[in-house]
Structure 1
């Protein structure tokens, strides 16, 4: 970390793009007056992989696996958003049991994501015991996902028109056992978050965002719901089997970093409740329905609730075996503005936890960029232009 003089008694503190506190590359600049942050900015784009452009050269089925790799932690929900959009264009609907299995995978993925985040956020605040315990316990849900799909990260459960994997009664019994254990552990973590004096000192009243700010900044997911902004795609626009097996939205009033911990832990416990209900009322049907190789021409959108918030897909078909356009808006992109806004007025030492509070995913944001040289002469760059620009920029 270096300091750059920026006016009398003010400095710019750059963090990243390679920094021990960040697991992915992102560049932040905090203007500080002593220990107080007076300005903040962020630059992303270091892990651009060209996924959206790559989707145009792959078939609908191949893109299903490509979309899973936008984010490892949220791989299933990305695939779900994609297949639901393609199914809408094709005019088909997945069978009831397939939709229930999609919800099962989504809620197991939510448990995994929130427990992973709990450990990372605790680590950023120096609570390494909570980090190690929560990551130990998340192995339980990863074992469940491995039992169902054979994979611990990219589950590849979805097909266009349904799902690959079924659940046997024995599998459901084993998952119930794991959920009982996780529910007990989550109750303990909730007690720690609410009663540990040191933890409360680092989170309560830190990064407070009002409901009005959450709406103005476009916050989504637990970040918004912790500020009493009640919006959840699972509730407001049910998909998969959420109409048959609804979730109860978890909101908090305080809007601070502590509320974001509480909301995510309570959401995880709500996921456990919903999973139990699905197991008790599992619908019977086929797992997949037939879908044509050539998807009819048209455009559609698909919205789902990823662990971090609303995930939005725009899909355009020209009537062939490949999409003409796939545009993805991830929840992390919506929540970045809250970090930059809430940072001002806090101490520099609070920045790692405020940043971790939105559960950021840098890779989710970096997919495709269109560069315009100026307003009078807009020009879309070719791959060769982009390559030459990169060579010149980094000389």
Structure 2
């Protein structure tokens, strides 16, 4: 028997607003269509009506999970357009906040993946570990969601020696829980049965559809903007690209968990080698010359790009935002084909979708 089964736009196991139409042959999915556009807020249009300082606050609200990534990309784009060189200490502070955000984003995904497959003890352990990261962010920035740490010209707030020492202490406390969660994912039979060989994205298809971030690296794509096109002094840090070749849900989980360990390593290096000096260039309202610039960073979900056009005035003439979920969502129909209906929710969630970013 053939059926057409809808998932979403709101679904118990996938709260993100996406609609996936499954064409099935019995329990197996023969074809799938993805529909987006349920969360449009007009942020790109609003950016043209605001000056550069106001736009930082605006783009921070594109996404609640990777808010720092959006402000960082916007600010670095303007800095490149105006030929500004951010002080080294400001760049290191940006790296610390970016990697803490990556850790909490990856742990959020791992916990939700465990919840979707019904492994709630791992879900609770993962969220307990993530809570330590949120405590770190609150301790450093005063906020748990929108950190307001980026301005045009560098970092908004300095980090004291005491804060840096507290950060190292909290990272040490996080080490064992992350290792325990990673061990469970690598060895547990239930997780293996639900994730290995499920939702495969072949290496060739990953290139064709333009997959990026941990999703692409789980299919053998050796692309990481932090390594390939360093920004914010990432060239000063020693870390590895985490790449796997299986391209299934299991590989995506392992890539994210191993990236958490790499992020902790980067933060340790940043704290121990923190330069002295100013944290920003001291601009109240930056002057941006007429021109256009395209910039990219490695957000937690993958390559995030901003294209900004200035006419020399105080407001943006155009801000175009291209998010990783836009690239990765195109791979969903390919991953769903040949899998069972029961795995559909997990497969869609395995790209770590953010439709708040995607629809803007």
- Does TM, normalized by the shorter one, top 0.5? yes
Q: Following the alignment from structure 2 to structure 1, what is the Cα–Cα distance between the partners of residues 271 and 166?
A: 11
Q: Given the alignment of the two structures, is residue 170 of structure 1 paired with residue 162 of structure 2, yes or no?
A: yes
Q: Following the alignment from structure 2 to structure 1, what is the Cα–Cα distance between the partners of residues 213 and 15?
A: 22
From 117, 127, 133, the counterpart of 2:119: 127
Which residue number in structure 1 is paired with residue 191 of structure 2? Answer: 199
Q: CA RMSD of the aligned region, Å?
A: 1.1
Which residue number in structure 2 is paired with residue 370 of structure 1? Answer: none
From 263, 272, 276, the counterpart of 2:264: 272
Deviates more, 1:151-160 or 1:86-95: 86-95
From 298, 308, 322, the counterpart of 2:315: 322
Matched residue SS, 2:91: helix
The 5-angstrom pairing of residues 1-395 of structure 1 reads 9-291=1-283, 293-367=286-360
Contact persistence 2:23–2:29 (CA under 8 A): yes
Contact persistence 1:97–1:287 (CA under 8 A): yes
Contact persistence 1:235–1:246 (CA under 8 A): no
| Uncovered stretches (5+) of structure 2, i.e. residues with no partner | none
Can you list the C-alpha shifts for 1:154-178, whole angstroms capped at 9, x where unaligned?
0000011011111122111211121
| Uncovered stretches (5+) of structure 1, i.e. residues with no partner | 1-8, 368-395
Q: Following the alignment from structure 2 to structure 1, what is the Cα–Cα distance between the partners of residues 340 and 30?
A: 9
Report the CA distance between 1:18 and its aligned residue: 2.2
Corresponding pairs, count: 359
Matched residue SS, 1:69: coil
Can you list the C-alpha shifts for 1:45-72, whole angstroms capped at 9, x where unaligned?
1110000000000000000011111111
State TM-score, norm by structure 2.
0.98
Q: Following the alignment from structure 1 to structure 2, what is the Cα–Cα distance between the partners of residues 361 and 299?
A: 27
Matched residue SS, 1:243: helix
Larger radius of gyration: 1
Report the CA distance between 1:290 and its aligned residue: 4.1
**Higher RCO (C-alpha under 8 Å, 6+ residues apart):** 2
Which residue number in structure 2 is paired with residue 376 of structure 1? Answer: none
Q: Which runs of 4+ in 1 moved over 2 A?
A: 290-294
Q: Following the alignment from structure 2 to structure 1, what is the Cα–Cα distance between the partners of residues 86 and 267?
A: 19
Q: Following the alignment from structure 2 to structure 1, what is the Cα–Cα distance between the partners of residues 159 and 239?
A: 21
Contact persistence 2:14–2:349 (CA under 8 A): no
Report the CA distance between 1:294 and its aligned residue: 3.2
State TM-score, norm by structure 1.
0.89
Contact persistence 1:125–1:352 (CA under 8 A): no
Deviates more, 1:243-252 or 1:184-193: 243-252
Report the CA distance between 1:324 and its aligned residue: 0.6
Matched residue SS, 1:315: strand
Deviates more, 1:52-61 or 1:250-259: 250-259
Q: Following the alignment from structure 2 to structure 1, what is the Cα–Cα distance between the partners of residues 158 and 186?
A: 39
Report the CA distance between 1:201 and its aligned residue: 0.3
Matched residue SS, 1:46: coil
Q: Following the alignment from structure 1 to structure 2, what is the Cα–Cα distance between the partners of residues 90 and 184?
A: 44
Matched residue SS, 2:11: coil
Q: Following the alignment from structure 2 to structure 1, what is the Cα–Cα distance between the partners of residues 298 and 246?
A: 22
Q: Following the alignment from structure 2 to structure 1, what is the Cα–Cα distance between the partners of residues 279 and 170?
A: 25
Q: Following the alignment from structure 2 to structure 1, what is the Cα–Cα distance between the partners of residues 188 and 305?
A: 37
Can you list the C-alpha shifts for 1:166-223, whole angstroms capped at 9, x where unaligned?
1122111211121112121111111111111111000111112222111111000001
